[in-house]
Structure 1
Amino acid sequence: MYIESVRTGEYATIGYARKSHSNESQSVRLRLLESMTAILVDPCRCSKIYVSPICAANSPLQERDLKRSTLIKEIRNAHGDMQDLISYAKTAVRPIRLVVIDYAGLTTSPQDLSDFML
């Protein structure tokens, strides 16, 4: 059913991945983010993928990536960051199905999620 709905274009299936603050090198961070975006491409079949390269799970969704990371340009399959996802969502013609790759989920705040979805 999921694959069929992707084929029909009933929803715009977009992906989001984020990586928390940690001490790994930039090359390791890039490799880990690219692994996440690869999953969003196949098997999830997202047509656009947005990435927050350095972001805590408890940071407010609307405030993520206000300071743009140069790493975003190096991530294969990335169409932008959270600010780009917000812009896309505001102008989308079709309903959006958001696929999230992250161990902590999209956010740790139910209120933040509710505010984001409105």
Structure 2
Amino acid sequence: MTTTDAPLALGIIGAGIMGERLIAALHGAPDSPVRVAALWDPSPEALARVGAAFPAVPRVADAAAVVAASACVYVASPPARISATPGPRWPPAGPCSARSPWRSTSPRPAPSWRPRGRPGR
């Protein structure tokens, strides 16, 4: 990065493990091409904890303020409604399917795709 290049303004939504690790990595890198422009978390406790560890990081009132202050936003949040228990694979294996090792706690939606070689299914 040259001295005339402005660093990328990165907003972070989520002050948990991943958000804190990202902030630590950026603050530990001299001449980083990225700066943390804003941080928000729905948990006031998490926001205060990370804010105390990194007082130079601007904390904002909501996710919209993160977006407004940033050129790029990283959402440091776990997937919604996912358990940590490996479960049955969905959708089932096939030429047009994806596999996930995690079981969702939400009901399975009807697939919007049709596997190849199985018309009408």
Identify the TM-score tier after normalising by the shorter chain: 0.3 to 0.5
In proportion to residue count, which structure has more strand?
2
TM-score, structure 1 normalization: 0.36
User: Which protein is richer in helix relative to its size?
Assistant: 1
Q: With structure 2 as the length reference, what TM-score do the two structures score?
A: 0.35
Structure with greater Cα Rg: 2
